[in-house]
Structure 1
Amino acid sequence: MNEGQLLQEADRRGRDYVAGAETRRVFPAEAEIAALSGFDEALPDQGLPPEETIALMDNLGSPATVASNGPNYFGFVIGASLPVAAAAERLALAWDQCASTEDGSPAAYAIEKQASAWLLEVLDLPRSSAVAYGTSATACGLSCLAAARAELLARQGWDVVNDGLHGAPEVKVLVPASTHVTVRKALQVLGFGWNRVIKAPVDDKGRIIPDQLPAMDANTLLVLQAGEVNTGEFDDFATLIPRAKAAGAWVHVDGAFGLWARAAPQLQHLTKGIGGADSWTTDGHKWLNTPYDGAMAICRDPAALARVMNSDAAYSSASAEAQKNLTLEFSRRARGIPIWAALRSLGRAGVADLVTRHHQQAQRISAALQEAGFEVLNRVVLNQVLVRGADDAATQAILQQVQESGSSWFGGSVWQERPAFRISLSSHRTKDQHVEQLIDLLVRIGPEG
């Protein structure tokens, strides 16, 4: 089988997989997982036929995947890849470009530059901001937080890039007590020390209580949330950001999925004042429905991001806006291409419709479950429905029955020190009929589990 035939065979198998996304088990059965032992092989002395490798991957791997690319996955906020985004990814893989600089790939550079302009437009963020395409919201958050620390120290005359942190003034970090684990991870990697991070008190919705926010100064890095992971709630940006700016603090917004509310006219009120922050992170695979490995670090001051991310070398120099000088990666693929394809295909109205539809579906689930006697724990301001059964044991039993059903899947959580389960909506494949099927399943199980 030649190269062209091999690619055609892989594409055929991929098309068959996507075509069956709605009917396959959302989580694989035990037998399908057990069959993965077939990958436990000795490294061959002589290479095996490529078509056999692709067949093995499909025959054993495909049945044991989680159908998060289908319409019945309500687990983590994971959008199914839009066909145009997946197709653009395939073509970009065929190009096989090193998209670090314009010299490495003029095509990738031009497409990612256009994607950045559109992204800032659809999210209505400062148009001169830098947009860096990274692997995840964790990596992009790390970049923004590193830029924040370097800038805060630079304002005091300390050059962290050249002089490091030994002897530097301490940067105080403030986060919501409900902050996402990826923010914690990024802070730990940067050496802030979780025990030294100040956790601001939050209300029963997971939002910072403005009157209880600790004092800030010009050495403060304040992290706010757009889309609390359980409730979907938003911090009070209109109150908190001006207060932080008046103190000279840097404000970063963790908006992995919640930032997309800004693209929907009916939900923009949730993000009032968010444009006053210094940096933001969001993720394409969550609500723009692009493939994984396509998150964005957005920084109001491009120079602040480039100061800590620059990787110019004698053999490879580029402008400050080159992606290698804005991201953690030197060699990188063009992660912004699927973002561009999705935005061009959806347009402003399509992005708004996607976000609005999932909000309406979440509200429908909430109303139906409350009517059936379940306890819905949040206001459903966005796409998250946080639920409990009649008691903790019932909650766990409900979760187990849904996960074992194979027809739907969502995950468990803990809210205010008690078990709960979280239903998330973000897949373009999830239509109203799939929502009704989920409701019917849960009503049959009942709040008593």
Structure 2
Amino acid sequence: MGDDELLRRTAELAADYLRSLPERPVKTGMDVAELRRELVGQLPQRGEDPRKVIEHLADVGGRAAVAMAGPRYFGFVIGGAQPAALAADWLTSTWDQNAGLYVAGPAASVVEEAVGQWLLDLFGLPLDCGFGLVTGCQMAHFTCLAAARTAVLERAGWDVISDGLFGAPEIAVVVGEEAHSTVLSALQYLGLGRRRIHLVDTDEQGRITLEALDAVLERIPEGQPLIVNLQAGNVNTGSFDPLRAALERVQRRDGAWVHVDGAFGLWATASPELRHLLDGVELADSWATDAHKWLNVPYDSGVAIVRDSDVHQRTMSPPHAAYLEYGQERDEVAWVPEFSRRARGFPAYAALRTLGRDGVADLVGRCCSLAARMAGQLAGADGVQILNDVVLNQVLVRFTPEDGSDPDEFTREVVHRVQEDGTLWLSGTTWHGMAAMRISVSNWSTTEADADRSVEAILRCAQ
């Protein structure tokens, strides 16, 4: 089989899988023992026929795949790839560009430049911000908080880029009790630690309270380098910190830096009906979000945005290497932690062009409407409680059994039954000490029929 025939056959197999998504069970159809029997063995001495290898992978991988890209996957705030974004991702692999330097991937560099400008405009952020496309929000936090570390220490007279943290002034880091774990991981990677943070109390929806923020700030001496993390979209409830009021309080401190975790919530700025939730977000110093969540592009695609583009670039730029060709055009390595990197701007570019401003707004608004629809239907059933105000695309559900047994155990059992049923997939969580079912509506292809079918399956499993 020639190369062209192999690629055509692969495209057929991919299309077959995509056609199966609306009706296939969402859970994986294979356990780990079966997967190991199929995929793990001795490395062959002689190479195998490429067609047989690909067809075997398509068969086993397809049967084992969780239908994460399908319309009834409601776990972990994960969106499915739009067709245009997926097609662009195929081209990305075909072109096989190392997008670290302009000279190695000119179109990749210019496309990422376009994507950055479109996103800044869509989010209502200053158009001269620095930005970079990274693997996900984990590395977006790392990039933004690295820039924050540079800036607050420079204001204290310390060059962390050249001299590191040995002997540096101590940085106070403030985060809410409900901060996402990736923020804490980024602090860990940056040498700022996870235990040394100042925690701010949150309310029943997971939002920091201004009184608690004031109390924490009062304990931090004036003049100490300060980084504060705020949240736009709680991963359980979808709630937003009081951004404007919190930012105004922090920015009374000379030289403080405010970072916003907007992994999925930042996309609400695209919706005229929802952008009030982010009032004041443009006042922050850095922002992190994901395109593989609500823009629905293939993994991996995170976005790091920094108001001070000079600090951003100086923080990320590697030392000069004589054999590399740096130019006057945009070298992505100056904005992100990776040097050798995928040209991940092409899928985001295709998604934004095919959706347009109105399409992004519709996608976000439709997902939120479907979340409210599911919450409303579930709330009308006996023994079902909605734990959060459904302000975005997140729904927290708790179940009380008729026999008076433990609601925590019963809720976890219902989550397990739903996962095994296969009609949809969602996850469990613990919210303020209570077991809960967590529904995240983030997929471009989810319809009202999918939402209604999923609610029916949840209630059937609960009964």
TM-score (norm 2): 0.94
Matches within 5 A, 1:40-439: 40-213=40-213, 214-215=216-217, 217-218=222-223, 219-247=225-253, 248-311=255-318, 312-316=320-324, 317-319=326-328, 321-373=330-382, 374-390=384-400, 391-439=407-455
Q: Is the 8 A contact 2:29 2:65 kept in 1?
A: no
Question: How many correspondences in the alignment?
Answer: 447
CA distance in 2, matches of 1:35, 1:203: 44
**More divergent stretch after superposition (262-271 vs 330-339):** 330-339
Give 2:84's aligned amino acid: V
CA distance in 1, matches of 2:412, 2:249: 42
Q: Secondary structure at the match of 2:395?
A: strand
Q: Is the 8 A contact 2:396 2:437 kept in 1?
A: yes
**More divergent stretch after superposition (32-41 vs 188-197):** 32-41
- What is the aligned-residue identity percentage? 42
Q: Is the 8 A contact 1:72 1:430 kept in 2?
A: yes
Give 2:411's aligned amino acid: T
Q: Counterpart of 2:8? A: 8
Give 2:261's aligned amino acid: D
CA shift, 1:36, in A, is: 4.4
CA distance in 2, matches of 1:10, 1:348: 33
CA distance in 1, matches of 2:137, 2:172: 22
Q: Secondary structure at the match of 2:174?
A: strand
Which structure 2 segments of 5+ residues have no match?
A: 401-406
Give 1:158's aligned amino acid: W
Q: Secondary structure at the match of 1:196?
A: coil
Give 2:395's aligned amino acid: V
Q: For 1:69-122, what per-residue CA distance to the aligned partner results, in whole angstroms no more than 9, with x for missing partners? A: 111111111110000000011112111111112211221111111111111111
**More divergent stretch after superposition (44-53 vs 139-148):** 44-53
**More divergent stretch after superposition (231-240 vs 107-116):** 107-116
Q: For 1:399-439, what per-residue CA distance to the aligned partner results, in whole angstroms no more than 9, with x for missing partners? A: 11111101111000000112111000000111110000011
CA shift, 1:282, in A, is: 0.5
CA distance in 2, matches of 1:319, 1:174: 38
Give 1:241's aligned amino acid: L
Which 4+ stretches in 1 moved above 3 angstroms?
29-33, 318-321
CA distance in 2, matches of 1:393, 1:111: 50
Query: Closer, same or farther in 2 for the Cα pair 1:188/1:305, shift >3 Å?
Result: same
Query: Closer, same or farther in 2 for the Cα pair 1:210/1:190, shift >3 Å?
Result: same
CA distance in 2, matches of 1:119, 1:403: 35
CA shift, 1:337, in A, is: 1.3
Q: Secondary structure at the match of 1:265?
A: coil
Question: What's the Cα RMSD here?
Answer: 1.4
Give 1:444's aligned amino acid: R
CA distance in 2, matches of 1:313, 1:257: 37
CA shift, 1:32, in A, is: 8.5
CA shift, 1:38, in A, is: 0.9
Q: Secondary structure at the match of 2:128?
A: coil
Give 2:334's aligned amino acid: N
CA distance in 1, matches of 2:342, 2:105: 10
Query: Closer, same or farther in 2 for the Cα pair 1:35/1:109, shift >3 Å?
Result: closer
**More divergent stretch after superposition (102-111 vs 283-292):** 102-111
CA shift, 1:252, in A, is: 0.4
CA shift, 1:320, in A, is: 8.6
Q: Is the 8 A contact 1:310 1:320 kept in 2?
A: no
CA distance in 2, matches of 1:157, 1:397: 56
CA distance in 2, matches of 1:50, 1:125: 48
CA shift, 1:33, in A, is: 6.6
Q: Is the 8 A contact 1:32 1:64 kept in 2?
A: no
Q: Secondary structure at the match of 2:252?
A: helix
